[in-house]
């Protein structure tokens, strides 16, 4: 529901959501989220094995009254939890240089991810 609210449209088929849910139940994926007054206001979805995690998808309520960006809080908790579980690496994604213009959504996502590392594939050991 939150992903639909944030994007304003359905960006994936229902089958894709079912596949992601099955991965969570099989412990091949995890969702980290923040709640406010029992309502989820942000989440991030990760696919992982025993050594490696991949940041896959996220959604954050645009109008929130927090002093820190929700994505930063969630990603930091995920990094700490993956490290405690013994994972060695976290892949945040690629960033084609032509998308780093600072004017579009992709550029903002890249800037957010780069804020956690000097590379988007980094060790969490």
Is the pTM above the cut of 0.75? no
Q: Measured between alpha carbons, how far is 42 from 34 in angstroms, rounded to an integer?
A: 5
pLDDT of residue 86: 92
- Which residue spans within the chain are E strands per DSSP? 29-36, 39-48, 52-60, 89-91, 121-123
- In the block, tokens 């903002």 appear at 108
**Could you tell me the two tokens for 58?**
């996220």
In 3D, which of 71, 36, 68 has the Cα closest to residue 55? 71
Check pLDDT > 90 for residue 25. Answer: yes
- Which residue spans within 49-88 are E strands per DSSP? 52-60
Check pLDDT > 90 for residue 15. Answer: yes
Of 118 and 88, the structure prediction assigns the larger pLDDT to 88
Buried b (16+ CB within 10 A) or exposed e, 71-95: bebbbeebbeebeeeebeebbbeeb
For the segment 71-85, the average pLDDT, to the nearest whole number, is: 89
Q: Averaging pLDDT over each range in 26-35, 49-58, 60-69, which range is the top one?
A: 26-35
């Amino acid at each position: 529901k939150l992903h639909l609210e944030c994007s304003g449209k359905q960006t994936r088929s229902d089958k894709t959501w079912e596949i992601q849910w099955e991965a969570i139940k099989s412990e091949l994926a995890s969702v980290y989220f923040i709640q406010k007054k029992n309502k989820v206001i942000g989440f991030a979805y990760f696919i992982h094995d025993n050594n490696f995690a991949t940041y896959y998808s996220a959604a954050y309520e645009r109008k929130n009254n927090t002093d820190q960006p929700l994505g930063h809080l969630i990603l930091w908790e995920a990094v700490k939890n993956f490290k405690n579980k013994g994972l060695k690496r976290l892949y945040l994604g690629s960033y084609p240089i032509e998308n780093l213009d600072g004017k579009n959504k992709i550029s903002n996502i890249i800037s957010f991810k780069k804020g956690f590392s000097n590379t988007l594939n980094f060790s969490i050991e």
